[in-house]
Structure 1
């Protein structure tokens, strides 16, 4: 059986995706996605907007938004423990600046995966609209050169797991107009 050198594969895939950022249109899109995903901002804002707009499931949206925030905080805690440095690629500088020096797991991917799970559980449209944007934000972190693929994969796993752990709490949110039925 052939041994896979994960570190080598991680760096090669990162270099290939970061190289895509040489195209100015790709770089601009990746920067915009990366900035939008900072601290889970796009997901937290979306959750609050949906809570304001969808009165029937307001409590669910607020709980889902809280789960996204909790997932983001969990990723920050893991980063403080693992302390993996951000990647450095020869001749390919990162396309964005980062506030932190640590890379594992990707907090962008953590929040994106959590949003995918919780927003999809709240409304069918969330299950169709959120995953492509979440995937694009995850890939943007590779194109801008600030995460290894394994950072993104671990972040997505952490976000999905955090959201799944909170699924019971999310389902228990009261649904307005249903006489207390919380399973709408």
Structure 2
């Protein structure tokens, strides 16, 4: 059975209520644990740094879902860390599969072929979106985040993220069809 010290309990309570100073204290207290877990699994210090940053950004953005009565903050952070490590491993595997396809057939373009003009038109149309939908579309397509990851990153409900993506894609399709 894990026990939580009174200092850790107060820190968890402050964090859960959104005290910005608590985020700094939480980072100082548990970032070595998060970094060590990431480094042991990923073996690349830069990836471990990225995971550590992602864990604390996700934790802060999702702090309203943390319930100190259900468990220790450290355990919650370890769960987020495991998910971020798994995401990094999955991204590595996707990258390796893509590299293998390119090496197997260097003449085959692994991505759809868009010329520079098409890319500029699409980027311009994305820039025309309102701020929140534009941010969501960029996270989805440039950062390759899932709907759930976007919701966690932005602290939005999942349904709201999906609605923004659906409406934004419809707007982009309409505007691009007119431009062609």
Of structures 1 and 2, the larger Rg is shown by 2
Higher RCO (CA-CA < 8 Å; seq separation 6+): 1
TM-score norm. by structure 1 comes to: 0.33
Which protein has the bigger helix share? 2
TM-score, length-scaled by structure 2: 0.34
